[in-house]
Amino acid sequence: MDASAIEGELTSIVLTTEQLDTRIKEIAAEIDRDYAKSDKSVLLVAVLKGAVMVMADLARAISIPVEFDFMAVSSYGSGTKSSGVVRIIKDLDIDLSGRDVIIVEDILDSGLTLSWLIKNLKSRGPKSVEVMTMMRKPDAIKVEVPAKYIGFDIPNEFVVGFGLDYAEKYRNLREVAILAPHIYGG
């Protein structure tokens, strides 16, 4: 779905498909270089559901062999605020011991979910754990998350598209856009 089809529901486009595509290819090239000497294939771990688009595009732009796994988590908290208390809804299938892991995320907001996830995955005996996030909201970071690969710093606004949803809608929007306030019911 293109932003032009739902113009009235969006305030502005934050990232175009070209920007997303170019940046993903740059990050993939960095990952190719950084893990060229890795003895086992790199394990990409995406957090469902938002990171699915990033995972699909990043994995295809990477030239070295990778494996995929997925995890679903839910953070307890009121409404849209993350509390940092996380429950695993779907755990990984693959054993992490001795593996080079890259967590693939859509957006780093408060950082609470991701900092919990890094600790959790590190406790499973991997060789390394790094983070790739497509977007980061700099104003919103409460917990310092060491993300090695960052796509874009974006303004502190609620965005949708490229996997990100509002009430499960807009995930298939090709661009990243700010949702118009009237959509929130405000």
Binding site for ligand IMP (CB under 6 A): 50, 75, 82, 105-114, 158-160, 164
Closest distance of CB 117 from ligand IMP, Å: 9
Length in residues, the chain: 186
43 in helix, strand or coil?
A: strand
Q: How far apart are CA 114 and CA 109, in angstroms?
A: 9
Partner that binds at residue 103, options Mg ion, ligand IMP, none, CB closer than 5 to 8 Å by kind? none
Task: Tell whether residue 50 is a contact of Mg ion (CB under 5 A).
Answer: yes
Nearer Cβ to Mg ion, position 50 or 111? 50
Partner that binds at residue 133, options Mg ion, ligand IMP, none, CB closer than 5 to 8 Å by kind? none
Q: How far apart are CA 159 and CA 176, in angstroms?
A: 6
Task: Check: CB of residue 132 under 8 Å from CB of residue 103.
Answer: yes
Nearer Cβ to ligand IMP, position 80 or 97? 80
Partner that binds at residue 164, options Mg ion, ligand IMP, none, CB closer than 5 to 8 Å by kind? ligand IMP
Closest distance of CB 164 from ligand IMP, Å: 4
Active site residue 39: no
Catalytic residue among 57, 100, 106, 109: 109
DSSP state of 8: G
Order the strands of the 10-15 sheet from edge to edge.
10-15, 176-179, 159-160
Task: Tell whether residue 161 is a contact of Mg ion (CB under 5 A).
Answer: no
Closest distance of CB 54 from ligand IMP, Å: 11
Token pair for 148: 């090695």
Q: How far apart are CA 56 and CA 76, in angstroms?
A: 28
Task: Tell whether residue 163 is a contact of Mg ion (CB under 5 A).
Answer: no
Q: How far apart are CA 181 and CA 183, in angstroms?
A: 5
Residues with a known catalytic role? 109
